[in-house]
Amino acid sequence: MEEGTLHAHSLQSLPVELLYEIFIYSSWHLLPHTSKHFYEVFKCSPSSVTAEYLLARHTNAAGLIKFGGALITKILRYPICTQTVLEALLRLPDYASTKRDTSGTIKLPRRLFRSLSPRSTRPWSAQDEPMPFLRYIYDHPQIPPPNANCWDGYALTRAVASGFIPLTQFLLEHGASPACKGGMAVLVAVRR
């Protein structure tokens, strides 16, 4: 048996809990892609492990944010950051001890709105994604208020373009301005 094969086999035979610790402390985003086994292990990891990994990616040993800016904004950009992961993150003792700016606002990630498209079968409802996640983000006392106009009003424009009326109303109620990007949301609404 070759030495590389033996090493790879022994690494993959480690207990899942130890692999989680390696993943968190390495903060290496490509680790899950090094083998099918690792991919499956990390894909099925508990939300607390995912939360610890995301926090480790953006903080150093002293609890300082590595790259500046709003920590929640950076973490929300990751597709693996779901509502359950965000809930787990906010419960982490390490998150509570991070030195972060809580005075500003956060940017809503474009990923939440990118896949919105008009529906032909049934109308949008307030229970459709991303509404529950957005309500959680806006209502949570530990999360600074999101800026509904970030990315030049992208969220409102996508909501209008997809005909997602509950989302459009929600964003308008939370300060989204139809005037962003030269009134793009209004132009899209007129063309609909």
d(CA 48, CA 8): 27
d(CA 24, CA 7): 21
The per-residue pLDDT for 9 is: 59
Q: Quick check: 1 pLDDT over 50?
A: no
d(CA 83, CA 36): 26
* Two tokens, residue 176: 């989204």
> Is residue 118 a contact partner of residue 161, using CB atoms and an 8 Å limit?
yes
Reported as a single tens digit per residue, the pLDDT across 135-176 is 999 999 888 889 999 999 999 999 999 999 999 999 999 999
- Picking from 162, 178, 164, 94, the residue whose alpha carbon sits closest to that of residue 134 is 164
* Two tokens, residue 100: 């972060």
pTM (predicted TM-score):
0.83
* Two tokens, residue 27: 């903060």
- Please tell me the least confidently modeled range out of 34-38, 122-126, 153-157, 168-172: 34-38
50: Cα separation from own chain's centroid = 11
Can you give the C-alpha Rg of the chain in angstroms?
A: 20
